[in-house]
């Protein structure tokens, strides 16, 4: 199984630390994190993630920025996590619900 390079964009430090522990998996490499969208283009180039996890729903500004990033790397996936109702929102507006840690790990690791 290929290693997935994950970058996390999350504002709240406690949740960020929890995600770091949750994503402690042999096939996941945590390549960085940020609490602001402003740093994302630079960090995207430096860290070259396969997956970007973002907090909450994707608003218009975030969607535009993520669209530009996704266009520059064909295999980039963006996953929005909402703490309300265990929702996962994939970029392109697919939506799933998670109930367990394994649900998120499976989503990140799927081919």
pLDDT in tens, 12-41: 888 888 889 888 999 999 999 988 777 777
The answer to whether 53 touches 86, Cβ cutoff 8 Å, is: no
The answer to whether 52 touches 9, Cβ cutoff 8 Å, is: yes
**Mean pLDDT, to the nearest integer, of 87-99?**
58
Contact residues for 90 (Cβ-Cβ < 8 A; gap 6+) = 77, 78, 79, 80, 96, 107
- pTM for the model stands at 0.75
> 58 vs 6, which has greater pLDDT?
6
């Amino acid at each position: 199984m290929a290693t997935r390079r994950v970058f996390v964009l999350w504002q709240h430090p406690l949740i960020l630390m929890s995600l770091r522990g949750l994503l402690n998996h042999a096939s996941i490499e945590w390549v960085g994190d940020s609490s602001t969208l402003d740093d994302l283009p630079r960090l995207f180039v430096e860290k070259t993630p396969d997956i970007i996890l973002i907090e909450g729903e994707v608003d218009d500004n975030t969607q535009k920025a993520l669209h530009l990033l996704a266009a520059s790397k064909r295999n980039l996936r963006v996953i929005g996590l909402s703490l309300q109702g265990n929702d996962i929102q994939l970029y392109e507006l697919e939506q799933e619900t998670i109930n367990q840690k394994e649900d998120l790990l499976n989503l990140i690791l799927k081919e």
